[in-house]
Amino acid sequence: MFAAATQLVVLLVVLSSCRGRRDDFIDEGIEEIALQSSKFGSLWPLPQNVQISAVSFKLARDTFQIFDAKLSTAGPSCSLLQNAYRRYYEYFFGGVKKTWPLKDEWTDSAGLMGLQVLITDPEPGCEQYPSVTADESYQLFVDQPFAVLKAPKVWGALHGLETFSQLVYEDEFGAKNVNLTSISDFPRFAHRGILLDTSRHFLPVKVILANLETMAMNKFNVFHWHIVDDPSFPYLSRKFPQLSQKGAYHPYTHVYTPADVKMIIEFARLRGIRVIPEFDTPGHTQSWGKGQSDLLTPCFAGSKPSGSFGPVNPILNTTYDFMSQLFQEISIVFPDAYVHLGGDEVDFTCWKSNPDIQRFMEQQGFGQDYGKLESFYIQRLLDIVASTKKGYMIWQEVFDNGVKLKADTLIHVWKGTQQQYQNEMAKVTSSGYQTLLSTPWYLNRIAYGQDWQGHYKADPQDFQGTDEQKKLVIGGEACLWGEYVDATNLTPRLWPRASAVAERLWSAKTVTDISDAYNRLSVHRCRMVERGIPAEPLFSSYCPYEYKGI
């Protein structure tokens, strides 16, 4: 009894000293901001041009319709849009069903009857896959009796539906309102991606789909699927089933079957999201070696094989036969015009230890420059992939090592300090290559406090270069590497921190007001929560509809 009381006192002392020290933890350079309402409501990412007036209309749940305009080139047969109408109807009115207020109140004359969707391009895109050149622009006019959403292609219409859903808010009586509004919008960058890593931990399909849905809420349009790596090979290949049979964490429960992959690609397409798979070689391939013998380089200890293996063996013809067949399959399974070929962090130690490789280096006249051997491999791989008619993305090392690249190669910058990545962006673009940035957006790195502000402030066009060079920056990707991430913590770690990147990549360069961003992002985060996404809080606050667990 006495002991318990003492413990309680100690506990109280500890608690109160923790409370008092809260401010010590706030990182330098991070602003603490008071929550206010923004003149842009809860729009996120902020559209290019917005005017919201103080005139508001009510939406009637029972009679409100989303429908195709008579002149729209996408009719009822456009299942992509019909699908989106159903999804967004739910979002407009919230998942939360109410029995009040009374219906009379909603159906007064000052109500908004519906949303009319007008697609203007003769090729609306209903059956197509989104691409880097896709037109994502739209215009939205909210006025009585119907709001009008106008877009050349379905991709813009999808973004416009999301934007409309963000204009809808609940008044004190629980009725849904929207203000008289005019918006004209388009993305600043064409490539706005999220990288998820399904090798270090297997991510269930359900989690991937939930994040695609959340990506659409944030107008991201590329899912960079880092599908295989050293720890596991969950991609079930039709041609080489032994790769996942032996290389996945489990051959049946921890694999992506052809049907899973198909479902993910279609789910993404319906939300205007491209799926770019990454099959990283010649490094990061330990799991490949389990199902494909002779693919990896045997490492030597002195004059004997040590029993361990290094990167892909670049001196065997069988390596290239294998890669040809695998990438042939990949090019068919993944419809996007690009694949990511990795090429990062190749460790030369094992290559150096292997006498066959040493002999090959001599024959080729590479001296001791193992970068040349890497280039030799990558060059041949690029030819293989080019023959499948795909374009490719590669991590910056491939460019740094001087590998000859096709003119349309995308160089993915991920290394270094701010100064270093800005120099790299300048170097890559002055060589005439298109590029995208990830260095400041490694969201797997976490820090106490509002680290989203740092992500928000980074800008991929901030480097020394001409306008011509700046135009070669096609966007960026937020990366969530999987060492410490699986289905238990993926979503709250990613959102709303990735939302900061989303606005940087979509909105105008001049949109940099941190307090306005905080005000909008706080409400946007609550909206994600209301939609069932466990997005973590920015700071002390509450949401009208809190997350209720799974």
Ligand X SMILES: *[C@@H]1O[C@H](CO)[C@@H](O)[C@H](O)[C@H]1NC(C)=O
Catalytic residues: 345
Q: How far is the CB of 370 from ligand X (least distance, A)?
A: 21
User: Strand, helix or coil at 179?
Assistant: strand
> Can you list the alpha helix ranges (DSSP code H) found in 131-257?
154-167, 205-217, 242-247
* The binder of ligand X chosen from 77, 99, 133, 317 (CB under 6 A): 317
- Exposure of 270 in the CB half-sphere (CA atoms within 13 A): 20
- Site membership for ligand X, residue 511 (CB under 6 A): no
Q: Quick one: 4 or 54, whose CB is closer to ligand X? A: 54
Q: Quick one: 105 or 266, whose CB is closer to ligand X? A: 105
Q: Quick one: 48 or 444, whose CB is closer to ligand X? A: 48
Strands 191-197 vs 473-480: parallel, antiparallel or unpaired: parallel
Among 461, 500, 449, CA closest to 478: 500
Contact pattern from residue 14 through residue 53 relative to ligand X, giving x for each residue in contact according to CB under 6 A and a dash for the rest:
-------------------------x-x----------x-
Q: Where are the beta strands (DSSP E) in 348-433?
A: 391-395, 410-413
CA distance 280 to 292: 16
Structure tokens at 359: 């002999």
- Site membership for ligand X, residue 179 (CB under 6 A): yes
Q: How far is the CB of 314 from ligand X (least distance, A)?
A: 12
- Site membership for ligand X, residue 99 (CB under 6 A): no
CA angle (62 as vertex; 60, 65 as ends), nearest 5: 75
Token pair 């993910």 is found at 264
- Site membership for ligand X, residue 110 (CB under 6 A): no
- Site membership for ligand X, residue 315 (CB under 6 A): no
Strands 391-395 vs 338-342: parallel, antiparallel or unpaired: parallel
Asked if 414 and 395 count as a contact pair (C-beta separation under 8 A), the reply is: yes
- Site membership for ligand X, residue 489 (CB under 6 A): no
Cis status, amide bond into 47, omega within 30 of 0? no
Residues 6+ apart with CB under 8 A from 326: 237, 239, 240, 279
Q: How far is the CB of 171 from ligand X (least distance, A)?
A: 8
Q: Quick one: 296 or 425, whose CB is closer to ligand X? A: 296
User: Strand, helix or coil at 425?
Assistant: helix
Q: Quick one: 382 or 501, whose CB is closer to ligand X? A: 382
- Site membership for ligand X, residue 5 (CB under 6 A): no
Q: How far is the CB of 183 from ligand X (least distance, A)?
A: 12
- Site membership for ligand X, residue 54 (CB under 6 A): yes
- Site membership for ligand X, residue 182 (CB under 6 A): no
- Site membership for ligand X, residue 257 (CB under 6 A): no
Q: How far is the CB of 546 from ligand X (least distance, A)?
A: 23
Q: How far is the CB of 510 from ligand X (least distance, A)?
A: 19
- Site membership for ligand X, residue 56 (CB under 6 A): yes
- Site membership for ligand X, residue 314 (CB under 6 A): no
Structure tokens at 419: 């100064």
The site for ligand X, by CB under 6 A, has a size of 7
Q: How far is the CB of 47 from ligand X (least distance, A)?
A: 13
Q: Quick one: 13 or 55, whose CB is closer to ligand X? A: 55
Among 338, 412, 401, CA closest to 129: 338
Distance of CA 441 to the CA centre of its chain: 11
Q: Quick one: 183 or 196, whose CB is closer to ligand X? A: 183
Mapped to the 3 state alphabet, what secondary structure does 222-274 carry?
EEEEECCCCCCCCECCCCCCHHHHHHCCCCCCCCECHHHHHHHHHHHHCCCCE
Residues that bind ligand X (CB under 6 A): 39, 41, 52, 54, 56, 179, 317
